[in-house]
Each structure stands twice: as C-alpha cells, then as structure tokens.
Amino acid sequence: MATQLSQDELKKQAAWKAVDYVKSGMVVGLGTGSTAAFAVDRIGQLLKEGKLTNIIGVPTSVRTYEQAKSLGIPLATLDEQPKLDVAIDGADEVDPNLDVVKGRGGALLREKMVEMASAKFVCIVDDSKLVKGLGGSKLAMPVEIVQFCHLYTLRRLAELPEVAGCEAKLRMEGGKPYVTDNSNYIVDLYFQDPIKDGHAASKAILALEGVVDHGLFLDMVDVCIIAGTTGVEVQERKKK
C-alpha cells in the first residue's frame, strides 16, 4: 500500500523539481512561504555541494533574505539586478489558466516586483491549492494598502462592483494591524464565489489611491509545478 505523502513532502517534491530550472550563473528570484523555503534550502545545498555555482539570489521578503543569507547564497536587490533569469515561488490558489492568488504570507508586493522582473516565473504548489476560479478557496485574497485612512480604503475596496459579494477585513496580528515589510497594512478579501473577471477586479482595485498592490498574479506564471499524491505534474502556460 502506498504511503500517503504529507503536505510538506509534496511541497518539497515540487520545490526540488523547480530548482531544476536553476542553472549556474543565473540570477534567481527567491520566493516567500513554506513551499518556497524548500526551494531556497535546495539551492543552498546545491551551492554548497558545488553543483550550482555563481548564483545570485534576489529575495522577496526579509524572512527569505535571512534564510538565504544563513545558507550562504549570494544576494542582491532589484536595484543591483533588475533582470532575473528565473523566479521560484509558491501560491495560495492556482486556477486552470495558471493565474494565481499570492500574499497570504504578506509578501505580495516584493514577490510581484521580483517575479515581474524575471524572464521565467516557476510557481510551486501542492494540489490542495488548485481552484476552479480565483477566490474559490474562500480564503484571503490580500490587498496591500497604505496605513493612512486605512478604514476609508477598506470600505472603498468592499464597495467595488468588480469584487461584489466579497467581505473585506483588515489583517490583524496580536491585536494590532499586521504590518508588511514595506510598512503597509493588508486588507484580506474573502469571496463566497470565485471572482468573475480577474482582470477587471485587478484594474478596479489598483485604481484606488490608497492601494499599493494586490495578490492577483495574472498572466505571470510561466510554469506551474503541482505535487499531488500521484506525483509531480509540470504545466506550462499556453502561449496566446
């Protein structure tokens, strides 16, 4: 009888497969979160063993920076390395078009900046993250907002027709508003039904002055590696 792989084992399988896309001499975007952490560990291990050389990592959060630094991965920022060869990161939801929701870990702005700067974005998930439509997990779709008049921005987000039916909640941590690495707040949007039109929602959310960015990563993922009980599946974005 086959043993049931734990979610951590599945994440690790997907992460290790993603690191196959990393070759010596590359500048690599290092994602944030439990799945991406396995990939960062793997890159550190391959560097140590000499199987990868001359790698520069661009971390997407303070947490990832500290992890990569402790593993001896040479690091840079987008200021120094504006063009990346590949970025590896997890996602909170993946739809059939390989559009994703990210940012439940709070690093969505830096993740989006690094992943937009990458020639290839490799997304790694276990199959629990698959949804028919974004917002479909009924879990948070984060929006990073400035602290100034945050309740005003939260109310305006909740009233957008493009996200009709969502519930908007300020993310809290220990009784205080959660603060991102960029000193901003996060409003989490919760949907009963998947978002009807992700692009329209994206545009409407970004049009609000107090919004910094949101967790809809549309038309960005080039390769999605999905670890499931039957093995690891690699899906590539269909070129339009």
Tell me which residues are annotated as active site.
111
E strand or H helix at 240, and its extent?
none
What's the Cα-to-Cα distance from 216 to each of 48, 138, 173, 198, 237, rounded to whole Å? 35, 14, 23, 7, 16
Contacts of 44 (CB under 8 A, 6+ apart): 68, 71, 72, 73
Q: Is 12 exposed, middle or buried (0-12, 13-18, 19+ CB in 10 A)?
A: buried
Q: Does residue 43 contact residue 73 with C-beta atoms inside 8 Å?
A: yes
Rg of the chain's alpha carbons, rounded to an integer?
Answer: 18
For residue 7, the SS3 value is helix
Distance CA 177, CA 184 (A): 9
